[in-house]
Amino acid sequence: MSYEQVTYSREGAIATLTLNRPRARNAVSRKMAAEIRSALQEAGRDSQVRVLVVTGAGDAFCAGVDLNEARQGIDLTAGPEGQVLQNPAGGLDLILRRLDKPTVAAVNGPAIGMGCDLALCCDFRVCAPTARFWEPYVQRGSIPSAGCYYLPRLIGLAGAYRMLLLGEAVDAEEAERIGLAHKVVPADEVMVEANAMAEQLAQASPTCLQATKHAMWLGLEADLEATLDYVTHARTVAELSGDFEEGIKAYLERREPVFQGTRVALTNRGKGIPPA
């Protein structure tokens, strides 16, 4: 599919989604939201993709919703028939949450509002010194969305209150200190570092990455019994997939494993597991 406001490409096992409205600081228009959704779905369907990197063109990651469209009454959350969707931002946060593949946000500049939410929805955040995470919803007469879910889990309630209720912005240095950012590197090294992390992830078993992501989130949202029930199921699937055998064989042969991924359907079990 061709895109106008984002770019999407794949090199080997790594796909890259770039928000591409640099003059608007990558503010999300309704068209861009649709294209982001399509690109995420494309990455999810492509069996060659093992890791997704998300970044912004220019000097900003994403300045949030396009306020010019908002002033014109264009609703980002409205469906094709004018029906308002039941989740914020057209469901992009849910699509990212349900993506079975690891995601890395290369935060090359400010991530504001919906832009902050998109970064939070990714599994890893590599930041430039100019990165800034800001959730100004309440101060703008609106309600935070994905931040309400992720921030308490990532930085605790005290930090989440500061960002969501007081509307305090967090710069790159502070983000790394409190665990919101995984690494801060010079601006010209953000994509290099993000791709290095993606390469490392791509070398692991995709079956096990998928199951471990599910198990971690289930562990936060369900009890120990449900989590262990899913892990037992997923471990059996991983062993049937051939990845376990390859991992042991590579270790004994003192070489790097070459994982092929699951050849058996990894069905979701246990409450709290999102559909693949």
Domain segments of the chain as ranges = 6-202, 205-276
Residue 262, pLDDT > 70, answer no
Is it the case that residue 103 has pLDDT exceeding 80? yes
Superfamily of domain 205-276: Lyase 2-enoyl-coa Hydratase, Chain  A, domain 2 (1.10.12.10)
Which residue type sits at 83?
Answer: Q
Average the pLDDT over 70-93 and give the result. Answer: 56
Task: Give the model's pLDDT for residue 260.
Answer: 81
pLDDT of 31 strictly over 70: yes
Mean per-residue pLDDT for 248-276?
Answer: 64
Percentage of residues of the chain with pLDDT beyond 70? 87
**pLDDT tens per residue, range 116-153:** 999 999 999 999 999 999 999 999 999 999 999 999 99
| Residue 213 pLDDT grade (very low, low, confident, very high; cuts 50, 70, 90) | very high
Domain 6-202 has CATH 3.90.1150.200: no
Sheet holding 124-127, edge to edge: 6-11, 14-19, 51-56, 103-107, 124-127, 183-184
- The alpha carbon of 161 is separated from its chain's Cα centroid by a whole number of angstroms, namely 22
pTM (2 decimals)?
A: 0.88
